[in-house]
Amino acid sequence: MRITLSGATGFLGDRLVRRLHAAGHELRLLVRRPVTGLPPGVETFLWNPPRLDAPPEALSGADALIHLSGASVNQRWTPETKALLRASRLDTTRSLVHSLSTLSARPGIFLCASAVGIYGDRGDETLTEDSAPGSGFLSGLTLEWEKEANLARSLGIRVNCLRTGVVLGREGGALASMLPVFRLGIGGKLGSGQQWMSWIHIDDWTAAVAFLLGPGLPSGPLNLTAPEPARNADFTRTLGKVLHRPAFLPVPEIALRFLLGEMSAIILSSQRVLPASLIAQDYRFQHPTLEPALRSLLY
């Protein structure tokens, strides 16, 4: 396939580029600045929305478009940061859909990044793609993001919003930030520890995205999470076990709210998300359970 991809230099995008390239796909990357160290044959095109639309030659003839761009939510949510988070998601997606509308030959598939944060704080409720959105800043932003992406459906394009959970990988994301603390033996649960964490191994995330490039799938959101979410206390206990380190130093909720402000909702919110649509499409997880998933990454 000929695939155009944004956000290719991030933690997820870099791994996805290498997987798709190894599978023999022809890749075109939308980048804000020149990039080095890419696999041979991968083309790059400068793109700086909203000031610069995607070059037509980057999209023309593509079979699929994968949009992963978006500023990290892991920073204190000041008014300025919130504006950045919105612009990096809504403006870029709006720009891409506009560019698609100008083409005579359009990609048949548009995979757009999203997040399980759309569900908000839901306690022990089991959440699937049919569950209603929640409340709060992140939920509202993610809902708007998906609405922008879904406008491409009116162009005859299949749209799937990738509601991604906590992606586990050594090179980045939540696990990489947790490892130094846990290796020192000073890790522990966050807040009450009863909040559900919906996680996915990086290999399953890339494999699921590649799977979604196949034909015959319907439009709609997809939960990219493992089939067995874990409570935060169980996650941290298991991580300590795999590292042969104690994990008994909790971080109180009040401390998290003081240090992180509103952004602490990412850590303290409970989302028990199941990948119902992936399972219905017969996707087979390589790492469905937590302890073996962590061992595969750490040994």
Q: Which domains does the chain have, with CATH numbers?
A: 2-172+198-228+271-286 (3.40.50.720)
Q: Which of 176, 181, 143 is nearest to 161 (CA)?
A: 143
Q: Are 96 and 145 in contact (CB under 8 A)?
A: no
DSSP secondary-structure letter at 128? -
Strand partners, 212: none
Tokens 């720009």 found at = 95
* Token pair for 64: 């699929």
* pLDDT, tens digit only, all 299 positions of the chain: 999 999 998 999 999 999 999 999 999 999 998 888 899 999 999 998 877 788 999 998 999 999 999 999 999 999 999 999 999 999 999 999 999 999 989 999 999 999 999 999 999 999 999 999 999 999 999 999 999 999 999 999 999 999 999 999 999 999 999 999 999 999 999 999 999 999 999 999 999 999 999 998 999 999 999 999 999 999 999 999 999 999 999 999 999 999 999 999 999 999 999 999 999 999 999 999 999 999 999 99
pLDDT of residue 202: 98
Spell out the residues 6+ positions from residue 255 whose beta carbon is closer than 8 angstroms to its own: none
Cβ within 8 Å of residue 90, ≥6 positions away: 144, 145, 148
Nearest to 274 by CA among 193, 169, 200: 200
Q: How far apart are the first and last CA of the chain?
A: 34
Length of the chain: 299
- DSSP 8-state secondary structure symbol assigned to residue 89: I
Question: Quick one: pLDDT at residue 52?
Answer: 77
- What does DSSP assign to residue 153? G
Q: Is the peptide bond before 50 cis (omega within 30 degrees of 0)?
A: yes
What pLDDT score was predicted for residue 44? Answer: 95
Among candidates 160, 234, 146, which has minimal Cα distance to 197? 234
For residue 17, give both structure tokens.
Answer: 């580029």
Alpha-carbon gap, residue 63 to 200, rounded angstroms: 27
45 secondary structure, DSSP code: E
| Dihedral (CA of 173, 91, 51, 21) sign | positive
Structure tokens at 183: 């290796």
- Cβ contacts of residue 282 below 8 Å, gap of 6+? none
Query: Between β-strands 196-197 and 230-231, what pairing exists: parallel, antiparallel or unpaired?
Result: antiparallel
- Helix-strand-coil percent breakdown of the chain, rounded to 5? 40, 15, 40
Q: Which residues contact 83 (CB under 8 A, 6 or more apart)?
A: none
The amino acid that residue 29 corresponds to is L
